[in-house]
């Protein structure tokens, strides 16, 4: 049997082989094959890395033998010999996984130098200083990366020699100094490791390859993969490439360039270079690099060659490229190309302009822009330069993006007072509660010490599009004393701080803010997205202000209006409390009658803003104890206001206390117990609807019953809604349409969705609660273990941030299929936090929902993500069809020539039938 292939020369690969060759290796192959001046080399596959770990962190013989063969080929190719004392082959050994992990894994340059080959290289280059400098660098890098000797020890030796000579920079050292350094480096390696620095170049190579493979599982690489949600890779590849030198004199140099401006997106060559330098010098920042245009003056031919390469690469890759090059004695080499990282602004501009240049299709443009990155375009940001110069005093969770600068306040009341004076403030709380809503609205930013990404503060702030840093446990807050400590500093009321809600950082003092500007390109991209997407995008909004903003961002309706938010306003909370404290239906009805006109007004204004777009109104959801005061002072106040004894209020609070409020008396359970609440809310909705229809607006409200687990709960509530609708129609003499549906957020509701869909006209998945109940952990308590669960890979991502498709998604699939089995035209949506998260939106598209609903500021993200989901689904479908075609063709060929046909002949026949493009898609 033939061994599996683990080592590929650059001539053998292609850009479609990233899984096996890693990104860098695949692109080196691709460039080699399209004739770019790439120094020859070979790639050891990620599968070899997988074996390396399976074999107990060592290279097996099969891989070693294949490396030897490829090394020989490389020697032949370069007409040099590894370790030769005449004209030695030197190589770089670099990592490269399928997904870019810049700087996380190890690299060794100049490998192949030893005491003999140094002489050969001197002979060949005639540049003894260059050779010893390279040798010194190689030993240092090898000692650090491969032999684990701390790099500081080498730095010290270098510094000591420089100090002894009284010189400042390396270039001032002489050859003899470098030779001394080389032998001192070898000594320190021997002293620290007990081993000699390996003089055998083959041993050097094997050790370096082992080191690179090992670095796949070093701590920083693991953390990087976790933080960037990189999963499912089997390891890194290793690229062994013949060395070229940018430091061989003034006709040599090295640089990095982007085919377009990665910051603005402008279609203009962009980059920098240094003459007579190696790559690390550009990064180190000791010498200031020059702009790429200047190369045109220094080496016009090379520059023109580079310009052509820029064009060729973009035409070939059809994306903006980030290219590393080296000029060795006037000859240009390309060492790497990859898709360039860019700002959201640049991504949008690139995508739109490349479509206009006919480089890519609109569908390709859509998937080019990371949906989440649009956040950068919509919110104010802290000035990046100013950030670099400022002190971070604490770090919390990036709970709601954007930035805020203002005076510290410690309660909602103070926030309102300060905002009333036109001052900017930041509300700092241990945690927020529904009573803080007005203060949160008044503040420019919110900072809390407790709570996660879906805590009250985070959810409300995102809804408001307001910057929030949550769960900032670095803070020690004393709300009574109105102060907090962080990083050893004390902050008092009125002190100015700055928040970065996109990074979770808290800064001392007033940082510069940069305002968002939406370009025409953004609008263009969004229009393309709207044409491509199937999912509708609605918003979660409770106020006309939020609704207006959401419409400006493209929302097509309201998917979730939380009516309880309307209950917390100061003028209303009294009536709500009066209702709660009533002992009988009459008392409750009296109190509800006070709320009715206010809530009707809320709905009317909301309907007017939405102007015919669908509005989904969720009935009262939170447990009643959330509306009662907690502090002694407030209880006394309430007692005076209501003429009810403090004892009675306390006993009511005690009575309403719940051990597990999340699993308590809330949602529709409230209105089953107190039907008068549902009656009032129905009346408010329908009377508001009549008022709008009277004014010529077309309104079809969608009443949504929360927390339904049992169809009989729903039927109980629907009966009330229908009855009140009939009453209002008769009273007002106005006819209107409406829908009644439910949230699917209780697991029992999901698995009995067929029963519920018999009477419910729509489902909206409340994935926050569905995640809590389905997984059995509350978002308030799971902080204690969820981070570790993600670290351990039990969940790929925090299921409150990105929908847990395997588990909660399964419940959703069950609900969709059961629901549709009894009602084909059942409307399906999602209104949990996941409705604004791209991977969750793709899942919603795939399982056939009709719309997603998210906070106003995430509407553009959702529009783009929905379009991306469409494009991806279309692609998957196409690929399935192509596979079918290829499979059929293979069958046909086998039918004609017999199944003993050789693979080669089969391939030939196949390529005569099917275009290479299709074949590549099926196999890539």
State the DSSP code for 627: G
774 is an interface residue for a second copy by CB under 8 A: yes
Residue 396 · residue 471 · CB < 8 Å: yes
- Can residue 662 be called a binding residue for a second copy (CB under 8 A)? yes
* 660: contact with a second copy by CB under 8 A: yes
DSSP states along 222-274: HHHHHHTT--S----EEEEEE---S-SSTT-EEEEEESS-TTT--SS-EEEEE
Separation between Cα atoms, residue 88 and residue 122, nearest integer Å = 10
**Cβ neighbours for 279, distance < 8 A, ≥ 6 positions apart:** 246, 254, 324, 326, 335
User: In whole angstroms, what is the distance from residue 797 CA to residue 192 CA?
Assistant: 41
Instruction: Determine which residue in the list 243, 453, 529, 775 makes contact with a second copy, applying CB under 8 A.
Output: 775
- Nearest approach, Cβ of residue 713 and a second copy (Å): 6
Is residue 777 involved in binding a second copy (CB under 8 A)? yes
The reply on whether position 661 binds a second copy by CB under 8 A is: yes
Q: How far is the CB of 773 from a second copy (least distance, A)?
A: 5
Binding mask 102-141 for a second copy (x = CB under 8 A): ----------------------------------------
Among 259, 563, 752, 853, binds a second copy (CB under 8 A): 752
- Quote the least distance from Cβ 161 to a second copy, whole Å: 45
Q: How far is the CB of 854 from a second copy (least distance, A)?
A: 23
The CA distance from 423 to 407, in Å, is: 8
Cβ-contact 34, 316 below 8 angstroms: yes
**CB of 535: closest distance to a second copy in angstroms?**
24
Q: Binder to a second copy among 393, 486, 773, 871 (CB under 8 A)?
A: 773
Q: Between β-strands 425-429 and 403-409, what pairing exists: parallel, antiparallel or unpaired?
A: parallel
Which structure tokens are listed for 618? Answer: 């969720």
What distance in Å separates the CA atoms of residue 344 and residue 347, rounded to the nearest whole number? 5
Interacting positions 237-266 with a second copy (CB under 8 A) = none
Distance CA 748, CA 397 (A): 33
Q: Select the span of 53-61, 218-226, 779-787, 826-834 touching a second copy (CB under 8 A).
A: 779-787
Shortest Å, Cβ 876 to a second copy: 23
Question: Site for a second copy (CB under 8 A): which residue of 444, 687, 769, 842?
Answer: 769
CA dihedral 711→714→720→723, nearest 10 degrees, is -70
**DSSP result, 381-450:** EE-HHHHHTS-EEEE-EEEE-SEEEEEEE-SHHHHHHHHHTT--EEEEESS--GGGHHHHHHSSEEEESS
- The reply on whether position 664 binds a second copy by CB under 8 A is yes
Q: Which region among 74-82, 140-148, 394-402, 662-670 touches a second copy (by CB under 8 A)?
A: 662-670
Residue 482 token pair: 């109105």
Select 319 or 676, whichever has its Cβ closest to a second copy.
676
Report the site for a second copy in 701-730 (rule: CB under 8 A): 707, 709-710, 712-713, 716
Candidates 307, 751, 873, 914; binder of a second copy (CB under 8 A) is 751
**Contacts by 591-599, CB closer than 8 A, 24 or more apart:** 592/676, 592/677, 592/679, 592/680, 593/680, 595/567, 595/680, 596/680, 596/683, 596/684, 598/566, 598/571, 598/572, 599/563, 599/566, 599/680, 599/681, 599/684
The minimum distance between CB 594 and a second copy, in angstroms, equals: 25
Binding piece for a second copy, criterion CB under 8 A, among 235-243, 438-446, 659-667, 732-740: 659-667
Contact between 222 and a second copy (CB under 8 A)?
A: no
Question: Binding residue for a second copy (CB under 8 A) from 663, 695, 877, 897?
Answer: 663
Q: How far is the CB of 815 from a second copy (least distance, A)?
A: 11
Question: Would you count residue 772 as binding a second copy (CB under 8 A)?
Answer: yes
Catalytic residue flag (residue 690)? no
**Is the CA virtual torsion 362, 365, 370, 372 positive or negative?**
negative
Does position 534 interact with a second copy (CB under 8 A)? The reply is no
Query: How would you classify the pairing of strands 467-470 and 397-400?
Result: antiparallel
Is residue 113 within 8 A of residue 147, CB to CB? The reply is: no
b/e per residue 705-737 (b: at least 16 CB within 10 A): bbbbbebebbbbbbebbeebbeebeeebebebe
668 among known catalytic residues: no
| CA-based end-to-end distance of the chain | 26
Query: Which residues in the 335-374 window bind a second copy by CB under 8 A?
Result: none
Kindly provide the residue ranges of all beta strands, DSSP E only, lying in 161-205, ordered along the sequence.
Answer: none
Q: How far is the CB of 517 from a second copy (least distance, A)?
A: 42
Among 287, 482, 665, 739, binds a second copy (CB under 8 A): 665
Q: Is 430 in the site for a second copy (CB under 8 A)?
A: no
Phi-psi region of 83 (alpha: psi -120 to 50; beta: other; left: phi over 0): left
Selected catalytic residue, list 49, 379, 425, 456? 456
Tokens at 723, concatenated = 């009855």
User: Rounded to the nearest whole angstrom, what is the least distance from the CB of residue 812 to a second copy in the complex?
Assistant: 10
Of 318, 512, 669, 739, the one binding a second copy by CB under 8 A: 669
**Range in contact with a second copy (rule: CB under 8 A) among 477-485, 637-645, 775-783, 900-908:** 775-783
821: which 2 tokens?
Answer: 């089995």
The pairing of strands 381-382 and 513-514 is: antiparallel
- Region from 356-364, 518-526, 767-775, 823-831 binding a second copy, contact rule CB under 8 A: 767-775
Q: Name which of 358 and 659 has its Cβ closer to a second copy.
A: 659
As measured in angstroms, the least distance from the Cβ of 683 to a second copy is 22
Residues 473, 476, 478: CA angle, nearest 5 degrees:
135
Please name which of 525, 536, 148 lies closest in space to residue 374, comparing C-alpha atoms: 525
Q: Which tokens sit at 96?
A: 């490269």
Residue 616 pairs in a beta bridge with 702
Give residues with Cβ within 8 angstroms of 298, minimum separation 6.
275
Judged by CB under 8 A, the residue of 102, 659, 824, 896 near a second copy is 659
Restricting to residues 781-840, name those near a second copy by CB under 8 A.
781-782, 784-785, 788-789, 792-795, 804, 806-808, 810-811, 814
Catalytic residue among 690, 831, 844, 854: 831
Q: What is the Cα–Cα distance from 501 to 461, expressed in whole angstroms?
A: 10
The nearer residue to a second copy, 218 or 673, going by C-beta atoms, is 673
Q: How far is the CB of 222 from a second copy (least distance, A)?
A: 17
Among the residue ranges 52-60, 182-190, 657-665, 899-907, the one whose residues contact a second copy (CB under 8 A):
657-665
Tell me the number of residues near a second copy by CB under 8 A.
50
Report, as residue numbers or ranges, the catalytic residues: 456, 831
Provide the binding-site residues for a second copy, judged by CB under 8 A.
658-665, 669, 672-673, 707, 709-710, 712-713, 716, 745-748, 751-752, 755, 769, 772-778, 780-782, 784-785, 788-789, 792-795, 804, 806-808, 810-811, 814
């Amino acid at each position: 049997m033939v061994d599996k292939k683990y080592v590929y020369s650059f001539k053998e690969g292609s850009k479609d082989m990233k899984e096996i060759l890693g990104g860098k290796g695949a692109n080196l192959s691709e460039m080699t094959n399209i004739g770019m001046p790439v120094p020859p080399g070979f790639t050891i596959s990620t599968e070899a890395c997988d074996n390396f770990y399976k074999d107990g962190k060592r290279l097996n013989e099969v891989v070693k033998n294949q490396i030897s063969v490829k090394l020989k080929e490389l020697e032949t190719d370069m007409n040099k010999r590894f370790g030769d004392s005449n004209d030695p082959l030197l190589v770089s050994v670099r990592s490269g996984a399928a997904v870019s992990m810049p700087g996380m894994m190890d690299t060794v340059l100049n490998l192949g130098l030893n005491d003999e080959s140094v002489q050969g290289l001197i002979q060949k280059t005639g540049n003894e200083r260059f050779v010893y400098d390279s040798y010194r660098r190689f030993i240092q890098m090898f000692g650090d990366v491969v032999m684990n000797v701390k790099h500081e020890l080498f730095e010290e030796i270098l510094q000591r020699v420089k100090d002894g000579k009284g010189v400042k920079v390396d270039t001032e050292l002489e050859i003899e100094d470098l030779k001394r350094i080389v032998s001192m480096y070898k000594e320190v390696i021997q002293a620290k490791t007990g081993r000699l620095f390996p003089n055998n170049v083959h041993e050097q190579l094997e050790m370096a390859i082992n080191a690179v493979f090992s670095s796949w599982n070093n701590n920083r690489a693991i953390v990087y993969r976790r933080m960037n949600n990189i999963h499912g890779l089997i390891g890194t590849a290793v690229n062994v490439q013949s060395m070229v030198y940018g430091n061989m004199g003034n006709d040599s140099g090295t640089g990095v360039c982007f085919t377009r401006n990665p910051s603005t997106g402008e279609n203009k060559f962009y980059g920098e270079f240094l003459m007579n330098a190696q790559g690390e010098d550009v990064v180190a920042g000791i010498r200031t690099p020059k702009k790429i245009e200047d190369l045109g003056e220094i080496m016009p031919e090379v520059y023109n060659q580079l310009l052509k390469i820029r064009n060729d690469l973009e035409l070939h890759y059809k994306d903006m490229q980030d290219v590393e090059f080296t000029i060795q004695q006037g000859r240009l080499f390309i060492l790497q190309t990859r898709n360039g990282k860019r700002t959201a602004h640049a991504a949008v501009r690139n995508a739109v302009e490349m479509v206009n240049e006919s480089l890519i299709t609109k569908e390709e443009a859509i998937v080019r822009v990371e949906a989440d990155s649009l956040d950068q375009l919509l919110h104010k940001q802290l000035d990046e330069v100013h950030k670099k110069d400022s002190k971070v005093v604490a770090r919390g969770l990036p709970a709601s993006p954007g930035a805020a600068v203002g005076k510290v306040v410690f309660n909602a009341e103070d926030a309102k007072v300060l905002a009333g004076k036109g001052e900017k403030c930041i509300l700092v709380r241990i945690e927020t509660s529904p009573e803080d809503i007005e203060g949160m609205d008044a503040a420019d930013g919110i900072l809390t010490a407790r709570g996660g990404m879906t805590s009250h503060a985070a959810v409300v702030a995102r809804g408001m599009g307001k910057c929030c840093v949550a769960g900032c446990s670095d803070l020690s807050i004393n709300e009574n004393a109105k102060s907090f400590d962080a990083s050893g500093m004390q902050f008092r009321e009125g002190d100015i701080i700055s928040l970065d809600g996109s990074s979770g950082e808290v800064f001392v003092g007033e940082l510069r803010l940069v305002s968002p500007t939406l370009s025409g390109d953004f609008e263009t991209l969004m229009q393309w997205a709207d044409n491509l997407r199937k999912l509708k995008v609605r918003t979660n909004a409770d106020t006309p202000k939020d609704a207006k903003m959401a419409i400006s961002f493209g929302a097509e309706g309201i998917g979730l209006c939380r009516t309880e938010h309307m209950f917390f306003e100061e003028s209303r909370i009294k009536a709500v409390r009066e209702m709660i404290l009533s002992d009988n239906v009459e008392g409750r009805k009296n109190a509800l009658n006070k709320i009715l006109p206010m809530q009707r007004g809320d709905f009317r204004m909301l309907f007017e803003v939405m102007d015919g777009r669908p509005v989904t109104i969720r009935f009262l959801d939170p447990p009643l104890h959330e509306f009662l005061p907690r502090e002694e002072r407030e209880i006394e106040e309430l007692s005076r206001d209501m003429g009810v004894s403090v004892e009675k209020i306390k006993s009511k609070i005690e009575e309403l206390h719940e051990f597990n409020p999340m699993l308590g008396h809330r949602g529709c359970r409230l209105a089953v117990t107190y039907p008068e609440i549902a009656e009032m809310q129905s009346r408010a909705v329908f009377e508001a609807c009549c008022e709008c229809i009277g004014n010529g607006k077309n309104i079809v409200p969608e009443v949504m019953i929360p927390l339904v687990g049992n169809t009989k709960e729903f039927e109980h509530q629907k009966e009330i809604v229908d009855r009140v609708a009939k009453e209002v129609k008769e009273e007002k003499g106005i006819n209107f349409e409406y829908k009644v549906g439910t949230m699917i957020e209780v697991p029992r509701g999901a698995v009995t969705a067929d029963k519920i869909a018999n009477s419910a006209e729509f489902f909206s998945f409340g994935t926050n609660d569905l995640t809590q109940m389905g997984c059995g952990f509350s978002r308030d308590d799971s902080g204690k273990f969820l981070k570790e669960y993600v670290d351990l890979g039990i969940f790929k991502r925090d299921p409150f941030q990105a929908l847990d498709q395997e588990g909660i998604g399964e419940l959703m699939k069950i609900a969709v299929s059961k629901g549709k089995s009894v009602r084909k035209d059942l409307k399906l949506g999602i209104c949990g936090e996941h409705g604004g998260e791209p991977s969750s939106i793709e899942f919603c598209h795939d399982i056939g929902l009709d719309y997603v609903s998210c906070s106003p500021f995430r509407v553009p993200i959702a529009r783009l993500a929905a379009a991306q989901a469409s494009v991806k689904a279309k692609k998957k479908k196409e690929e399935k069809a192509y596979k079918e075609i290829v499979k059929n063709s293979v069958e046909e060929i086998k039918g004609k020539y017999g199944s003993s046909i050789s693979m080669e002949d089969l391939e030939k026949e196949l390529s005569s039938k099917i275009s290479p493009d299709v074949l590549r898609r099926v196999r890539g």
